[in-house]
Amino acid sequence: MPVHNADIATVLNRVADLLEIEGANVFRIRAYRNAARTIASLPWSVAEVLAEGEDLPKLPGIGEDLAGKIKEIATTGTLSQLEEIERRIPAALTQLMKIPSLGPKRVQAIYQKLNITTLDELEKAAREGKIRALFGFGQKTEEKIIEEIEQKKEKKERIKLPVAEEVAQSIVNYLRQVSGVSEVVVAGSYRRRKEVVADLDILAVASQDSPIMQRFINYEDVDRVVARGETKSTVLLRSGLQVDLRVVPKESYGAALHYFTGSSTHNIAIRKLGLKAGLKINEYGIFRAEERIGGREEEDVFRSVGLPFIEPELREGRGEIEAAARHMLPRLISLADIRGDLHLHTTATDGRFSLEEMVEAAIRKNYQYVAITDHSRHVSVAHGLDARQILQQIEAIDRLNKRLEGKIRVLKGVELDILEDGSLDLPDEVLKLLDLTVCSVHYNFNLPLEKQTERIIRAMDNPYFNILAHPTGRLINERKPYEVDMERLIEAARQRGCFMELNAHPDRLDLNDIHCKMAKEMGVKIAVSTDAHNLTDLDFMRYGVDQARRGWLEPEDVLNTRDWPKLQQLLKRR
């Protein structure tokens, strides 16, 4: 049975959650959480490496004991330590930890005082007014808990793109080995590169005698077969993810790929254009009356209605049809256009690798430049740097640049906290020595919209403010964006010569696609940066590029597609 990196990370996080509820040592808890993040971000499968008889490579922050636990999970799918903890404390309590208003201490109090272990029990107690009676809670907290439980019920759980990618690639590789199969591709929102997906739509071309359907439902990760047919089957994996497989004939492949890629809004618009031209367009092909006139290639669909090919990332019904009709589709950015990364952390704060190691990794990516942007002093949990330490890092970068001259340029930067009053976390006499600043909101997320917006705009007034990092503060599936008037922020950035970040970390992807398009239309350039805390995080750039493409961004819309002299000019505030 395949054990994905996401499965390993889930087990490690569950251990951390239960230890935190128990009140275990904070450093021990943090080690499990850091290990979970490291494993989840790896571009290779831990289980596959171990299955090939190789040892687990040395990973940052993961000692011998934790490495042994990771190996146990990867080879058995379980962890004996977790089973031991679950004998002391109910495993269901980890679900309570997913309610944003509840931290470990509150979960522990609810469990100890009211013997609540499930979300249903929690909701019942809250509606009966029992939560507010507990010390440290109150009516507002109780009402917030009810609201958050309702939101959780309404939303179907969606998984982040990297997790979907690992699962999808395993299934695709498995199905490609089946006899009689000539094409296997993942369609749906996955192909449109949405940041989260609810299910996987797999399309295949196979001969009539191919055993592909039987092989599909026999896949080791299948928990339940929902439906089985000759051309379509649906299964649920152990993770709860639904996967649909459709088998189509070769002559329908292009039309089916277009249809099942979506979105539904885009497809309806295409079908309407087809009707105007006297055509019927569906997943089986392109027809004039009863005659099939196309559908083998996806391009046939667009050609039949007089349009150029529209990239999957644009197919959301946000003007792509009209732009295609006017021959004004964007020349979307690609990973090859990226010249450098403008947001990296090192062991000087909360990164996992040294300055030299992070720069060497950037050299291996053939980047022309890379910005070191460790945290400023206000982020104490990340051991943020004060003015003296920033000056020391500047000197270290200067020395490194001399040694690496001709290989790469290391930019001197900082991830600078925007304080509640809109001031920046370090004095101007230090900031003026830097090549750039990446400015962030890291606390007081709950300010009202007007106050949060004004806070950030006041920060932009500082002449050393360059890039607004992860502009809404969201963590996908974990933390909502803080309230902010994005249109006002983008306009303020335009007026002051500032820029917005598209944080490429798949937990963030912030800006979202809609705000990327808004920034483009308002004339504000965007930095696509990884916020890398370890070497493998540099690979997240491709998720940022995916999001940029969904936001209609072209190379000229992105800061770090320029060479250093041009970028340097742009960073100089007007």
Where residue 165 sits, what CATH number does that domain have?
A: 3.30.460.10
Tokens 């499930």 label which residue? 118
Tokens 């963590």 label which residue? 475
Task: Tell me, rounded to whole angstroms, the distance of Cα 137 from its chain centroid.
Answer: 33
Q: What is the pLDDT of residues 276-314, one digit of tens each?
A: 999 999 999 999 998 999 999 999 999 999 999 999 999
Element spanning 124, H or E: helix 119-127
CATH number of the domain where residue 76 is located: 1.10.150.110
* Claim to verify: residue 82 and residue 212 sit in the same structural domain: no
* Claim to verify: residue 436 and residue 565 sit in the same structural domain: yes
Domain assignment of residue 31, given as a range? 5-154
Is residue 417 classed exposed, middle or buried when 0-12, 13-18 and 19+ CB atoms within 10 A define those classes?
Answer: buried
Residue 44's pLDDT band (cuts 50, 70, 90): confident
**φ, ψ for residue 440 (rounded to 5)?**
-135, 150
* C-alpha–C-alpha distance, residues 281 and 267, integer Å: 9
Q: What is the pLDDT of residues 371-406, one digit of tens each?
A: 999 999 988 777 899 999 999 999 999 999 999 998
21 with 107: CB under 8 angstroms? yes
* Claim to verify: residue 213 and residue 97 sit in the same structural domain: no
Long-range contacts of 233-240 (CB under 8 A, 24+ apart): 237/167, 238/1, 239/6, 239/7, 239/159, 239/167, 240/157
Three-state secondary structure call for residue 93: helix
Based on C-alpha coordinates, what's the Rg of the chain? 26
- The answer to whether residue 74 sits within a structural domain is yes
Element spanning 341, H or E: strand 340-344
Task: Tell me, rounded to whole angstroms, the distance of Cα 140 from its chain centroid.
Answer: 32
**φ, ψ for residue 299 (rounded to 5)?**
-60, -25
Long-range contacts of 355-361 (CB under 8 A, 24+ apart): 355/393, 355/396, 355/397, 355/400, 355/410, 356/400, 357/535, 358/532, 358/535, 359/400, 359/404, 359/408, 359/410, 361/535, 361/538
- The answer to whether residue 146 sits within a structural domain is yes
Tokens 């010569």 label which residue? 497
186 with 200: CB under 8 angstroms? yes
CATH number of the domain where residue 291 is located: 3.30.210.10
Average pLDDT, whole number, for the chain? 93
- The answer to whether residue 380 sits within a structural domain is yes
How many angstroms separate the first and last alpha carbons of the chain? 59
* Claim to verify: residue 50 and residue 130 sit in the same structural domain: yes
* Claim to verify: residue 141 and residue 284 sit in the same structural domain: no
Cis peptide before 263 (omega within 30 of 0): yes
Is residue 485 classed exposed, middle or buried when 0-12, 13-18 and 19+ CB atoms within 10 A define those classes?
Answer: middle
* Claim to verify: residue 364 and residue 448 sit in the same structural domain: yes
- The answer to whether residue 257 sits within a structural domain is no
- The answer to whether residue 215 sits within a structural domain is yes
* Claim to verify: residue 189 and residue 204 sit in the same structural domain: yes
Task: State the pLDDT at residue 1.
Answer: 67
Give the residue from 229, 231, 233, 215 showing the smallest Cα distance to 178. Answer: 215
* Claim to verify: residue 395 and residue 376 sit in the same structural domain: yes
* C-alpha–C-alpha distance, residues 455 and 143, integer Å: 28
* C-alpha–C-alpha distance, residues 396 and 275, integer Å: 66
* Claim to verify: residue 534 and residue 385 sit in the same structural domain: yes
- The answer to whether residue 523 sits within a structural domain is yes
Amino acid found at 428: D
* Claim to verify: residue 216 and residue 307 sit in the same structural domain: no
Is 342's pLDDT higher than 60? yes
Say what the pTM is: 0.86
How many structural domains comprise the chain? 4
* Claim to verify: residue 34 and residue 113 sit in the same structural domain: yes
- The answer to whether residue 254 sits within a structural domain is no
Is residue 141 classed exposed, middle or buried when 0-12, 13-18 and 19+ CB atoms within 10 A define those classes?
Answer: middle
Structure token digits, residue 341: 């990364």
Structure token digits, residue 164: 């979907």
Is 324's pLDDT higher than 80? yes
Domain boundary among 213, 248, 283: 248
Q: What is the pLDDT of residues 151-173, one digit of tens each?
A: 777 666 789 999 999 999 999 99
**φ, ψ for residue 125 (rounded to 5)?**
-65, -40
Domain boundary among 117, 135, 154: 154
**φ, ψ for residue 570 (rounded to 5)?**
-65, -35
Residue 526's pLDDT band (cuts 50, 70, 90): very high
* Claim to verify: residue 145 and residue 183 sit in the same structural domain: no
538 with 545: CB under 8 angstroms? no
Structure token digits, residue 447: 């300010």
Domain boundary among 129, 154, 179: 154
- The answer to whether residue 258 sits within a structural domain is no
Element spanning 437, H or E: strand 436-440
Structure token digits, residue 346: 């090192």
Task: State the pLDDT at residue 187.
Answer: 98
Q: What is the pLDDT of residues 188-229, one digit of tens each?
A: 999 999 999 999 999 999 999 999 999 999 999 999 999 999
Task: State the pLDDT at residue 155.
Answer: 64
